[in-house]
């Protein structure tokens, strides 16, 4: 027996700010497989987002060293980089496919201290909305 997950259950986390357009009805139109797995396009989007986040944190650190003489986001950068490597370890070169799971994508986006987790989740949600991946943020973040 398959249980139905509602938007209210999924959006109980404080990191959701822009999920108003995702209703119980349209989320529940997704099959169980669609709710629990990533497409190759979604996987590519997650990988690119994490790589862009590493780049952004690196630029912040470079600027801070030049101006302030210290690294402001060093721990965040090394943690995101480790999660990027974890995702890269799940790529299949023989078939050119992304094989990381929804749970691994969630770890790459949510396995941080509370303050940074809320920041990166909000950025991911905004990026998903802009890229028209309407349920991706909800599915990834709630898999954590």
What's the confidence (pLDDT) of residue 66?
87
Where do the H-state alpha helices sit in the chain? 7-10, 24-28, 32-36, 40-68, 74-88, 102-110, 114-130, 136-141
Residue 34: predicted pLDDT: 77
**Lowest mean pLDDT, pick from 14-18, 19-23, 78-82, 83-87:** 14-18
CA gap 32, 43 in Å, rounded: 18
Selected residue with higher pLDDT from 14 and 128: 128
Residue 11 has pLDDT above 80, yes or no: no
Residue 20 has pLDDT above 60, yes or no: no
Question: pLDDT tens across 120-134, in order?
Answer: 999 999 999 999 888
**Which of 5-9, 57-61, 63-67, 84-88 is predicted least confidently?**
5-9
Tokens encoding 22 = 């995702």
Look at residue 142 in the predicted model and tell me its pLDDT. Answer: 80
Reported as a single tens digit per residue, the pLDDT across 24-61 is: 566 677 777 877 889 999 999 999 999 999 999 999 99
């Amino acid at each position: 027996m398959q249980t139905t997950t509602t938007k209210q259950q999924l959006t109980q986390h404080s990191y959701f700010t822009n999920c108003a357009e995702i209703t119980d009805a349209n989320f529940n139109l997704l099959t169980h497989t669609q709710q629990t797995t990533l497409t190759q396009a979604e996987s590519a989007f997650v990988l690119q987002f994490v790589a862009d986040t590493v780049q952004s944190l690196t630029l912040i650190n470079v600027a801070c060293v030049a101006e302030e003489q210290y690294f402001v986001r060093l721990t965040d950068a090394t943690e995101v980089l480790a999660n990027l490597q974890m995702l890269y370890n799940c790529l299949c070169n023989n078939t050119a496919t992304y094989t990381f799971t929804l749970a691994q994508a969630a770890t790459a986006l949510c396995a941080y201290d509370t303050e940074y987790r809320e920041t990166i989740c909000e950025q991911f949600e905004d990026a998903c909305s802009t890229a028209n991946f309407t349920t991706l943020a909800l599915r990834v973040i709630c898999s954590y």
